[in-house]
Structure 1
Amino acid sequence: MKDGHIHTQYCPHGSNDNMEDYIKRAIEIGLDEITFTEHLPFPENFKDPSPNNDSVMDIESLHKYMKDVNSLKTKYKDKIKINLGVEVDYLEGYEKETKEILDVYGKYFDDSILSVHILNIHGDYKIMDYNKDEFGEIVNLLGGVGNVYYKYYKTLKKALHADLGKYKPNRIGHLNLVRKFNKIYPYNYENNIVLEELLMLIKEKGYELDYNLSGLLKEYCKEAYISGELLNLVKKYKIPVVPGSDAHSVKNMVNYDKLEHINNLK
């Protein structure tokens, strides 16, 4: 079993848990493959919209991160397969700059993820999943929860169409991240035409999905980021998935074989 979405001590908004401890934990719970997917630095001309300026690592940290992962790949090669990867933010309006970063570093990555955390709202960039207050501000700016879902799914479609070069990731991260605060901002998204169009496009373009279980641990979510209507559509279109803990600390790594959520797609 593989965990395809793990963060490290190089994540500014994560824990200080050492990368090697994640590996030891992975071996302990019986995983045979993992991918470290630290947040790729933003383009130099993009201002981090997070209140604490802690969304991604900087270039210097990226170099250290890559060196550390490659060293550990060698050290543990007989015990577990370790992939070097990144989580790439799709930034609407910064496709060219993102491509330029991937053109430089993409050849070094084994396995990566493309995600949407940030929405371009009337030319202002907002982090959708930062906290409930930030999400509430986005709801107000867009005029309702349903409009946030619409904007998010539309942005994901743009991410799928975006030209990010030959090193563009082939896996889409936490597809229903928009539901992170659904206990506070509930929304029935069944029979959502835009969502189904999104899944059809994912199938057509041959992408796979990050079966991200971190939502189960979130206070205002309590569901996997593939669940409900989205789970039904993933099954309908037979879209391949890769389990991902999205762990930002060692304690959040899990044994997927014991989770019925994963068995839903077997």
Structure 2
Amino acid sequence: MKITHDGHVHTPYCPHGSDSALHAYIETAITHGVKSMTFAEHAPLPQSFQDPVPTKDSALPPEQLEDYMRAVQTVKKQYATDITIYLGLEVDYLEGFEHETKHFLNQVGPELDDSILSVHFIKHKQGWTCLDYSPDALNELVTITGSMEEATKKYYGTVLQSITAEMGSFKPRRIGHLTLIRKFQHQIPVPEEIETPFLTDIFKRMAEEKLQLDYNGAGILKPDCKETYPPANWAKKAEQLGIELVYGSDAHHPNGLFGGIDRLANVRINSPNANS
């Protein structure tokens, strides 16, 4: 499948990514015939939220946000004749932090061209878990919730909350890596009898809200996942419901661009509903 837009690309400003320069991503994309791309760095977490991962490197530090945005705007102009660059952020939905997130989006939203809303962090009775940090982290969530069935309910329930949460006019309109809980599925299988009704409801809500879906190829490269987020059968169902799919490599290094494109379902791939 020919891909002309990559809607989910990280940058050297990602604390858990690579230090490859922005121009390395851009020139790799141009070489492969990509016409546009969204840099969607992990937005800073609310100041009152404590990053639960041991390395405390889940998101862009607040003090670097302005530098990140300025750097993307600079390359956007430099490469304007070769490729369209969108300035974006991947924003975390955090249960109970909707007000703080709305305030943040009201501040930065006018400057963004594109954005993604993702769930990485799950709130539970003992605090928070970043479910995709490692198999151990997911197993921790399973232990705390009581079973993988309950952990699956908790994850998809949080995704549903993210879709319906009121976070203002700059709330992202694209849902990121929807089936992220499958990242370690070859070690920790996801019960489909639990997942299926949740995904059915999520897609219904997304169609009603006219949200886009991040058709994310990163899972293909994960040894315990080996499929896109969401998998091909669900991508086809999304298309049938009229949900726009935007391909995203979720690359954290130039070598990660276009990940999984040879495994995408035969569906229509769209470009983002950008603000500019």
TM-score surpassing 0.5?
A: yes
- 8 Å CA contact retained: 2:131, 2:141: yes
Residue 255 of structure 2 corresponds to: 251
Query: 2:199 aligned with 1:195, yes or no?
Result: yes
C-alpha RMSD of matched pairs (Å):
1.6
Amino acid at match of 1:238: G
Give distance in 2, aligned partners of 1:224 and 1:260. 8
Q: Identity rate of aligned residues, in percent?
A: 40
Residue 132 of structure 1 corresponds to: 135
Give distance in 2, aligned partners of 1:65 and 1:162. 27
Amino acid at match of 1:137: E
- 8 Å CA contact retained: 2:148, 2:191: no
- Count residues in correspondence: 265
SS in 2 for 1:27: helix
Deviations 1:210-264, CA, capped at 9 Å, x for gaps? 00000000111011012155234313313111000000001011287x6241534
Moved over 6 A (4+): none
Residue 242 of structure 2 corresponds to: 238
Query: 2:144 aligned with 1:141, yes or no?
Result: yes
Amino acid at match of 1:189: E
- Find the partner of 1:163 among 139, 161, 166: 166
Residue 74 of structure 1 corresponds to: 77
Residue 274 of structure 2 corresponds to: none
Deviations 1:98-153, CA, capped at 9 Å, x for gaps? 11111111110000000000001126111010001111111111122122221111
Which blocks of at least 5 consecutive residues in structure 2 are unaligned?
Answer: 270-276
Show the 5 A alignment for 1:14-25: 14-25=17-28
Give distance in 2, aligned partners of 1:255 and 1:183. 19
- Find the partner of 1:115 among 97, 115, 118: 118
SS in 1 for 2:220: helix
Which blocks of at least 5 consecutive residues in structure 1 are unaligned?
Answer: none
TM-score w.r.t. structure 2 length?
A: 0.92
Give distance in 1, aligned partners of 2:232 and 2:251. 22
Residue 157 of structure 2 corresponds to: 154
Displacement of 1:17 after TM fit? 0.8
SS in 1 for 2:123: strand
Give distance in 2, aligned partners of 1:8 and 1:205. 30
TM-score w.r.t. structure 1 length?
A: 0.95
- Find the partner of 2:45 among 33, 38, 42: 42
